Chain A
Amino acid sequence: GAGVSQSPSNKVTEKGKDVELRCDPISGHTALYWYRQSLGQGLEFLIYFQGNSAPDKSGLPSDRFSAERTGGSVSTLTIQRTQQEDSAVYLCASSHPPGLAGGPPVVQYFGAGTRLSVL
């Protein structure tokens, strides 16, 4: 595909249910990132993948949040026992591997996001 694809685009769920959000990165991008954006706020970093490993999980807000990436491509963000405060837009981005020595940060390409509403 030409860009980062996220599905579903919208998800409405009941409090306490589990949800899975999917991200399909740009072909050839080995780095993948998940962010969360609450209404009218900036982006909150959640997790970073390089290939299938996640060297930086520091942004995951609680142990109800987990993410995996298989085959170095598609990633799934899972939220267990959803709470109302989990309602937000979840954005995925992909890029080439970060950082040549002394070089600039690589450009991140974002999907349109999944809008999660927990009732």
Chain B
Amino acid sequence: LAKTTQPISMDSYEGQEVNITCSHNNIATNDYITWYQQFPSQGPRFIIQGYKTKVTNEVASLFIPADRKSSTLSLPRVSLSDTAVYYCLVGDGRYNFNKFYFGSGTKLNVKP
């Protein structure tokens, strides 16, 4: 399973755009990049997933450069409720039983 590296923590203010970058130098050809969000006392929740270039949904955008060795989760205009831990996962569901290495994630603290 490809290992990922992300910042341990980040601070931001309400209304700002937040970009969290994840490094995955050993990503394999069949691997996808998936981000989950975890609030205190809750299980993680799926945010976004992509393979290459750019993916956007109602919550976030995911930017993946051509070499796929890193990816950036972009949260537009964050609010206090976006304070959470964000996990970057890399894996191929088919060949790894959808088993992911969650790591420690990035703790995002949004301030008023």
Contact = CB atoms under 8 A, between A and B. Distances in A.
B104 interface: yes
Interface stretch (A13-21, A62-70, A77-85, A97-105): A97-105
Centre residue among A4, A106, A111 by max chain B CB count within 10 A = A106
A99 B92 CA distance: 8
A100 B102 contact: no
A35 B92 CA distance: 18
B98 A98 contact: yes
Contacts of B92: 99, 105
Contacts of A33: 98-99
A5 B32 CA distance: 28
Interface string B38-60: 00011111100101000000000
A48 B99 contact: yes
A74 interface: no
Interface residues of A, number: 33
A111 B38 CA distance: 11
Given A99-B93, A101-B94, A103-B94, A108 B101 contact: no
Contact of B102 (A43, A48, A102): A43
B44 to A, nearest CB: 5
A86 B38 CA distance: 22
A91 to B, nearest CB: 5
A98 B42 contact: no
B95 to A, nearest CB: 7
A55 B51 contact: no
13 contacts: A31-B97, A31-B98, A33-B98, A35-B102, A42-B102, A43-B87, A43-B102, A45-B100, A50-B97, A99-B93, A99-B95, A102-B94, A105-B32
Interface of B: 30, 32, 34, 41-46, 49, 51, 87, 91-105
Given A42-B103, A45-B101, 19 more contacts: A31-B97, A33-B99, A42-B102, A42-B105, A43-B44, A55-B97, A91-B44, A92-B43, A98-B93, A98-B96, A99-B92, A99-B94, A99-B95, A101-B94, A104-B34, A105-B32, A105-B100, A108-B44, A108-B100
